[in-house]
Amino acid sequence: MSTSPITVVDPDNIDEQLPDLLEEMLSGSGAIIIKQAFPAEVISEARELIHRYTAEEDDKETHFLGASSDQVNLQRRVWNLLNKGEVFEQMVQHPLVMKIVGAFLGDEFIMGSVAANRLMPGGPGQEPHIDYPYWDLYKRSSFPMKINSSYPLNCQATVLLDPFTPETGATAFLPYSQGELIYPETDDRERFFAEAARMEGDPGDCVVFNGMCWHCAMPNVSDQDRTGILIEYLPKFVTPLEDQLSGVSDEVVERATPMLRQLMAMDYPYPKLFDEAEAAVQIGRDVAPC
């Protein structure tokens, strides 16, 4: 019997299971998994592209590696994936993930970032952390008073391109830690590493989790790669992390589905120059929906 605390999504029973999945992410272990969300061809195409980009591109900005900044070449990032292969346009719109995230963050949710994290053999782990928009919550005074975990402003999806095992550096997370909404202190790390569970899985699996949950990539002590596609979903009103509107080519924009347009926040109107807008009533309960 598996001892993994991660609830497995049942695609055939999603409507009935959805309330439990949402509760699990908000107040339970913090993570759920869709087994074999993507077929082998999709995974191998994505993997080839990430290998090509990590070979061709210079080292990129990364984060949570303060203690190992001399090893960024062993934890390689590829950013702005919407512009780096049609396969990623499909990957960010998985119907089951859209359904879960839409219920978790509100159905006009957007995507803040889609990037790869390729952990090479010997690559270092990260510091335990929480994700954007909470990722610098250690600067507590820069956040609103009484900010708390009662509703989510982030939902992460990690698509596994390689086996995620304790040896390859499967993401570690501390079940239930999302409840407090605290950026882990240095003193919390010992407890974190002693009690953390791992997001283990096979290529093609997709782990969906609450970014308020303490987590981190772990050292890759194996002799194989460990690449994950990290997708960050946000409610409609949170500023995206990556500037997709500038970073994505016209070609991608032109073929974007309505879902992809929503994810890229293309039709989100704010900030807006109201002085230049049509003199019409746009907002209010009595305005007919457009």
Ligand X SMILES: O=C(O)CCC(=O)C(=O)O
Partner touching 79 among ligand X, Fe ion, none, CB below 5 to 8 Å by kind: none
Contact segment (CB under 6 A) with ligand X among 34-42, 78-86, 213-221, 262-270 equals 213-221
Integer angstrom CA distances of residue 93 from 46, 88, 204, 258:
15, 9, 15, 10
Q: Which two tokens stand for residue 70?
A: 């001399």
The interface region with Fe ion, picked from 38-46, 131-139, 144-152, 281-289 by CB under 5 A, is 131-139
What's the token pair of residue 283? 């907002």
The reply to whether 184 sits near ligand X by the rule CB under 6 A is no
Exposure string for 234-264, b = 16+ CB within 10 A, e = fewer? bbeebebbbebeeebeeebeeebeeebebbb
Q: Which is nearer to Fe ion, 131 or 205 (CB)?
A: 131
The single residue among 131, 162, 200, 242 that binds Fe ion, judged by CB under 5 A, is: 131
Q: How many CA atoms lie within 13 A of 184 on its CB side?
A: 26
Give the helix, strand, coil percentages of the chain, each rounded to 5.
Answer: 35, 15, 50
- Cβ atoms of 91 and 159 closer than 8 Å: yes
Residue 168 found at the interface with ligand X (CB under 6 A): no
- Cα separations in angstroms, 65 against 69, 123, 124, 236, 268: 6, 11, 8, 29, 33
Site residues for ligand X, window 62-101 (CB under 6 A)? Answer: 64
Q: Tell whether residue 171 is a contact of ligand X (CB under 6 A).
A: yes
Which residue lies nearer to ligand X by CB, 89 or 200? 200
Q: Which residue, 32, 88, 12, 18, is CA-closest to 213?
A: 32
Provide, rounded to whole angstroms, the least separation between the CB of residue 145 and ligand X.
Answer: 26
Nearer to ligand X, 89 or 232 (CB): 232
Cβ 283 to ligand X shortest distance, Å: 35
Q: Note whether 215 binds ligand X by CB under 6 A.
A: yes
Tokens of 128: 């335990």
Stretch that binds Fe ion, among 12-20, 55-63, 107-115, 125-133 (CB under 5 A): 125-133
Give me the residue whose beta carbon is nearest to Fe ion: 131
Binding mask 75-114 for Fe ion (x = CB under 5 A): ----------------------------------------
Q: Which is nearer to ligand X, 38 or 256 (CB)?
A: 38
Query: Burial of 233 by CB count in 10 Å (0-12 exposed, 13-18 middle, 19+ buried)?
Result: buried
Helices (H) and strands (E) in the chain — how many of each? 8, 10
Q: Would you count residue 225 as binding Fe ion (CB under 5 A)?
A: no
Query: Contacting ligand X (CB under 6 A), which of 112, 133, 203, 228?
Result: 228
Kindly state whether residue 118 participates in binding ligand X, applying the rule CB under 6 A: no
- Minimum Å distance from CB 110 to ligand X? 18
Strands 7-8 and 155-160: unpaired
Q: Is 217 among the residues that bind ligand X (CB under 6 A)?
A: yes
Q: Which residues inside 235-274 make contact with ligand X, applying CB under 6 A?
A: none
Q: Are 92 and 244 in contact (CB under 8 A)?
A: no
Give residues in contact with ligand X (CB under 6 A).
64, 117, 131, 171, 215-217, 228, 230
Give residues in contact with Fe ion (CB under 5 A).
131
